[in-house]
Amino acid sequence: MSSLSRRAGAPHRGVTRYQGHLLPGLTHAPTRSFSLAKTTGNHKERVVILGSGWAGYGFARTLDPAKYERVIISPRSYFVFTPLLASTSVGTLEFRTILEPVRRLPGKIGFYQGWADDIDFDRKTIRVETNAADDSASKTVVPGPSPPTPETTGTGMKTGPPAKTKGDIIDIRYDKLVIACGAYSQTFGIEGVREHAHFLRDIGDARRIRLRVLSLFEMCSYPRGSDTLSDADKRALLHFAIVGGGPTGIEFAAELHDLIHEDLAPMYPELMPLVSITVYDVAPKVLPMFDQALAQYAMDTFARQGISVKTQHHLQRLRLADGELGRRHGALKIKIKELGDDELGAGLVVWSTGLMANPLIAKLAGKELAGPGPNPLSGSPTTRRVLRDARTGGLLIDEHLRACTATTPAPAPNGPPSVLEDVFVIGDCAVMAADPSLPKTAQVASQQATYLAKQLNADAVGQKPFKFRNLGTLAYLGSWKAIHQGRSETLRGWVAWVVWRGAYLTKSMSMRNKILVPVYWFISWLFGRGISRF
């Protein structure tokens, strides 16, 4: 289902500062050795979880607090139900209906807001930079060549001009470690995407998109005058471009269409002929996880709604428009390979493409660890390193979700890969060595989290291998239509829309949100979507 097949992004999800490096010209804040454990007669193993996304939050939610001391480290203090981000970005739902505070997990939970700078696997210690005073942790900013700043993503990345201050550095000890630090939006190095595109992986992203859409209609509604926008300028500003034809991009285009035609059209009737929505994708078809018939149904539905779908289009550059249109109104110019030297105008570009590895993963893979013992042939000491997948950059894991390592010199030729027994990797930053084709989706992350927690609860790690069970995929197409593809059946239209809403509702984490989500759906249907700017 789409709620389970969406990228865990989202963010959603990691906990690293930009490549773990200090900022230029800054000194370390005092480093403190920090322990949450209280002195009690009943010692519990401490399980530290890096990330509060689908993998990290789901694992902490299932792990038995009576048996383990749970500690979450994340740059954000909440979990986001990412499949409903598109609904919040257009006012169908309010933002807090898809958030789950980490500190309200049942049972005693330890939480520290910050980024993991480094992990010492030999000493079982994590170095963390705190960010409790940072108010931008919900904004997606992808990795880039710029120096680090307090601008962050939901996965903890910092980019931009140098910062003046940094958080305290604390050391957190662990007995078992679960790395669930997610991944970042992939921009493929395309010029201007990091600076000018909007992402949709966290709650702050949805809020900024919502404000931008509403402000574009307001600035285009002023009466014609000597200093107002021409119709050509308004047409450019009211062009909404979505890059990426996966479920996130398609559902955002559908939700945006509903907002414009159901709520904004009666208020701005003179602007409706100037509005356009376009989905761009490099693939021959959108929604590649669906079969051809359902993907074609989605494209036909969009065509009837006036949403243009441009497949096999390669975006090459994104920049501000020339003159006052770009400086004052934020208009953008899009250069597409198939259009030659022509550039398209847009008021909003939402970027929803692939994933790239978290920089913490590369840092961990480059570390040299103490080996499991002396080489049996020579008696010399061994060393080992954590293994990465060459294609995706994620950490390799075995069938029990433990981090795989390579030992040097090898203890035995052609032997099974060694693992870090107390280090587990789940979610978007993990690649199963036996099945590297598992998708980077919330469905996979959620199932890995539940499996691992239950194995730890039963002291059964290493006995039963993880098996992914595909529960199906859903996508909303607008106007009360959706598509669903399961293992043996397909649905389309209104029936699939009912299944879509039911799936999202049942997968909401808390009873509070299971009540709030249908309440706001009903309010939006009865009174219209929220269109206030604040």
Domain identity same for 215 and 172 = no
Q: What are phi and psi of 440, to 5 degrees?
A: -85, 80
Distance CA 186, CA 461 (A): 34
Helix, strand, or coil (residue 354) = coil
292 and 266 fall within a common domain:
yes
State how far the alpha carbon of 453 is from the alpha carbons of 58, 304, 357, 457, in Å: 9, 46, 24, 6
User: Residue 152: inside a domain, yes or no?
Assistant: yes
Q: Does 138 share its domain with 251?
A: no
Residue 314 lies in domain? 193-352
Residues 205, 321, single domain; the answer is yes
Is 402 within 8 Å of 431 (Cβ atoms)? no
pLDDT at 22 over 60: no
The answer to the question of residue 6 being in a domain is no
Domain assignment present for 282 = yes
Distance between CA atoms of residues 287 and 307, nearest Å: 15
pLDDT tens digit string along 47-64? 999 999 999 999 999 999
15-29, 208-222, 346-360, 470-484, range with the lowest pLDDT: 15-29
For 476-510, the pLDDT digits (tens) are 999 999 999 988 789 999 999 999 999 999 988 89
Query: Is residue 46 in some structural domain?
Result: yes
Question: Which residues have C-beta within 8 Å of that of residue 215, sequence separation ≥ 6?
Answer: 533
Q: What is the CATH number of the domain that holds 316?
A: 3.50.50.100
Query: Has residue 517 been placed in a domain?
Result: no
Position 120, amino acid = D
Residue finishing a domain among 296, 317, 352:
352
What's the whole-number average pLDDT of the chain? 85
Residue 27 within a domain? no
Distance separating the N- and C-terminal Cα atoms of the chain: 33
Residue where a domain terminates, one of 431, 457, 483:
457
Same domain, 312 and 360: no
Asked whether residue 278 falls in the same domain as residue 333, the answer is yes
* 487 located within any domain: no
Together in a domain, 201 and 114: no
What type of residue sits at position 438? L
> Could you tell me if 163 and 84 lie in one domain?
yes
pTM: 0.85
pLDDT digits (tens, 9 = 90+) for 445-459: 999 999 999 999 999
Q: Based on the fold, state whether residues 103 and 69 are members of the same structural domain.
A: yes
Query: Do 157 and 253 lie in a common domain?
Result: no
Q: Are residues 173 and 197 located together in one domain of the fold?
A: no
The three-state (H, E, C) secondary structure of 494-533, written as one string: HHHHHHHHHHHHHHCCCHHHHHHHHHHHHHHHHHCCCCCC
Residue 52 forms part of a structural domain: yes
Does pLDDT of 119 surpass 50? yes
Same domain, 347 and 204: yes
Please give the pLDDT value at position 422: 94
User: Any idea what the CATH number is for the domain that residue 96 is in?
Assistant: 3.50.50.60
Number of domains in the chain: 2
